[in-house]
A and B are shown apart, each in its own frame.
Chain A
Amino acid sequence: MRTYDRRLFAQASKVAREGRRAVGERMSTSIEEIEEMARKCRVEIIKMVYRAQAGHPGGSLSEIDLISALYATRMRIRPDEPKWADRDRFILSKGHASPGMYAVLAEMGFISHEDLKSYRVLGGVCQGHVDSKWCPGVDFSAGSLGMGLSFGMGCAIAARLDKSERRAFVMIGDGEMQEGSVWEAAMAAAHHELGNLKVILDRNRIQNDDFCEEQMRMFDIPAKWRSFGWNVKEIDGHNMTEVMEGLDFLEAEENSNGPSILIAHTIKGGGISYMENNPSFHGAAPNDEQFKQAMIELGEVEA
C-alpha cells in the first residue's frame, strides 16, 4: 500500500494540523484511501448528472482528485457544524462543476448521499450551481465565472482582521481566467500580501464551446500569475502523490508571504473514457448506454 509520507505535512501550520484532526475519523491520509474517495465521488458525479439529464460532468471529473485530497487531508472543517466561524473556506468559483463538490460534501458528511439525488431538483439541497443558501458546507454561491477569487480574497482579509489562521481555498477554471475580474482580484490579493489565500487552477483545457486554445489562447499561464506576484507550482492534477505535494506547497510556511496558486494539469472528463478531452461533455449528461459504460469503467458493475 502506497502511503503518503506524513513528514511532508511538516511545513503546514500547527493550526492546520489541529484542523485536520477536527475532521476526525473521516480523515484519510493514504494515497489509496483518497483515490478510493475520488472514485466514489466520480460514481456519484455520473449518477447525479445522469439522473438530472443535465449538468456539468467534464469539469467535475477533472477537479475531483484535487477536491477530494483537499477535503480529506487539509481543510479545517466541522461537518456537523458547517458554519463554524473559524473553518477554512472552500470556494468553488467554477460553480457549474457542482456535482464534484456535492459528492465530496457527502463523503465528508456535510450532506447525505440521499441529498445527492436532489441535484437540479426543485427545492433540492444540490442546486444546479453550488449555493450557500441551500447546501450546508457551501461557503460561496457560485454560478457566474470570475467571482470566486474576489470572494475568497474577502474571506482571507476577514481571517486576517480576526487574527485567525484559517485559510481560503479557491478553485478556479482555466476558461474562467478569461474573465477580467479574475485579474482584478489577482492583482489585489498580491498587493495585500494575502498568504492565507490559496488557489487551485483546474487546468483542463476545455471550456463550454470548445478547447480553450481555440476560444482564447492563454499563453504562459504560470508566468502570468508569477508576474502578478503569486507563488506558483504546477502539478499533474490526477497523480495523487503530486496532488499532495501541491497541497503541501499551498500550505507551506515559506509561501505565506503572499497568495499561492497550484496549477493542476487535468483531463476534462477524466476517468470516463468517452468523456475525456471531449468538449461535448462540458455540459451534457450521459445516455443510458453511456451511463452503463461509465459504471463499468469506474468498477461499480462488471462488464
Chain B
Amino acid sequence: MTRMAATRDGYGQALLELADNPKVVVLEADLGKSTKSLHFRKAYPDRTVSCGIGEQNMLLVGAGLASAGYIPFASTFAIFTERAFEQMRNGVARPNLPVHLCGSHGGTHTGTDGSSAQSIEDLAIFRTLPNVVVMHPCDDVSTRVLTMQLPALGQPSYMRTARNKTPVLYDGREDEIQIGKGIVLKEGTDVAIIACGVLVSEALKAAETLSGKGVNACVVDMHTLKPLDGALIDRLVAQCGAVVTAEDHNIIGGLGGAVAEHLVSNQPAPLERVGVPDRFGESGQADEMLEVMQLSAPHIAAAAEKAIQRK
C-alpha cells in the first residue's frame, strides 16, 4: 500500500532538520500551522519571526536577515506569496539575497477553500524573476530533500507545496533528488510525460493506462521548473519524439510554458500541455478539482495519444 503524505509536511520536517545550522531562521505570516513551519517555531522560538498577516513585510524582513548572513525560510499560502511579488522582485531577487519562499496550498488541488485560495499563477510569475529557483515537488520526501539543499544554494527560491496528501514516491530514494535535475520515474519510448507536483502520480497512472493500449510512455518528475533540466528534455525528445506536460497550474506560463520555451529554442517536438485551462477554480474536493480542471490521469493519457498522433 502506497504511503500517502502532504508535501507541506516534508517542508516542516526539513526546517526542523535544518535547525542545526544556526543561520537558518523561519518567518511566518500567521499560517505556520498550515505551511508546517510551526514545528520549527515550537522548537526554536528565538529563531522564528512572526510577521503577522503581512506578507510584503515578511519578504523584506527576510531580505534584511539574508543581507546579514542569515538564511530565512518564509512561508505562507501560495496565493498570498503573490501579493508580495514586487517585494520578491525588487527586494529579494534583484539583490540576489538567499530568501527561501514556500507557498503551500498551491493549485486547485487545495480544494474546498475555493478559487480565492487556489493559486494557479505562482509558478509562472516567480519563474519570470532572474536569480530565483522555482520548484514544485510531488511528495513529502522530495520536498524535504529539496528544502534541505536550499541553504547551499546561495540564491533565492520559491517552492510550491500542496495541502492535500499525495502518494509518496521517494521513500529510500533520497539520493536521486537534486535541485535542477528532473527524475525519470519510468522509462519509455513513445511519449514523454513531464509532470510536477500533485500531477506526477497522475502521470504515472496515465502511463499504466497507456501501457494497456501498447503505448510505452516515459514519466518524468520535473520538480524544478527553473533552472529547467534542458539536457533531460533534449534526451526525451530524441528518445520519444512527443511530449506532454502536466501541472496543477494555469496552462499559461508554468511547466508547460517552460518546456515549450525550451522546445522551440532547441529541438521542436509535438507538445500537449495538461493544465488548468486558463480559468479560475471553485470549491470542491481535491480529486473533484482534478476532474473539473481536466488534469487527472485520463486527461493526461488522452493528451499523450494526441501528442503521438502529431508526430
Contacts and interface: CB of A to CB of B under 8 A. Distances in A.
Interface in A154-179: 154-159, 161-162, 168
Interface in B81-99: 86-87, 90-91, 94-96
A139 interface: yes
A150 B62 CA distance: 9
A147 B56 CA distance: 8
Contacts of A158: 64-65, 67-70
Interface in B52-73: 52, 54, 56-57, 59-70, 72
A147 B60 contact: yes
Contacts of B51: 184, 188
18 contacts: A132-B95, A133-B96, A141-B94, A141-B95, A144-B86, A147-B87, A151-B61, A151-B64, A153-B57, A154-B65, A156-B64, A157-B65, A161-B70, A180-B56, A181-B54, A185-B61, A187-B54, A188-B51
A168 B47 CA distance: 19
Contact of A152 (B64, B70, B87): B64
Interface of B: 25, 46-47, 49-52, 54, 56-57, 59-70, 72, 86-87, 90-91, 94-96
Nearest to A154: B64
A150 B95 contact: no
B64 A150 contact: yes
A182 to B, nearest CB: 9
Contacts of B91: 141, 144, 147, 150-151
A18 to B, nearest CB: 20
Contact of B60 (A132, A150, A156, A192): A150
Contacts of B54: 181, 184-185, 187-188
Nearest to B22: A161
A226 interface: no
B63 A151 contact: yes
A224 interface: no
A225 B66 CA distance: 27
Contacts of A181: 54, 56-57, 60, 87
Contacts of A192: 49
A223 interface: no
A147 B64 contact: no
Contacts of A146: 56
Q: Is the interface of A mostly helix, strand, loop or mixed?
A: helix
A161 B25 contact: yes
Contacts of A221: none
Given A150-B56, A151-B60, A143 B65 contact: no
Highest count of chain B CB atoms <10 Å: which of A147, A150, A185: A150
A296 interface: no
Contacts of B67: 132, 139-140, 151, 154-155, 158
Contact of A133 (B59, B65, B68, B95): B95
A70 B31 CA distance: 39
A151 B51 CA distance: 13
Contact of A147 (B50, B65, B66, B90): B90
A153 B95 contact: no
8 closest A-B pairs by beta carbon, nearest first, are A154-B64, A150-B60, A158-B68, A184-B54, A184-B57, A154-B61, A181-B56, A155-B64
Nearest to A148: B60
Interface string A77-88: 000000001000
B273 to A, nearest CB: 34
Interface string A34-54: 000000000000000000000
Contacts of A147: 60, 87, 90-91
A140 B51 CA distance: 20
Contacts of A131: 95
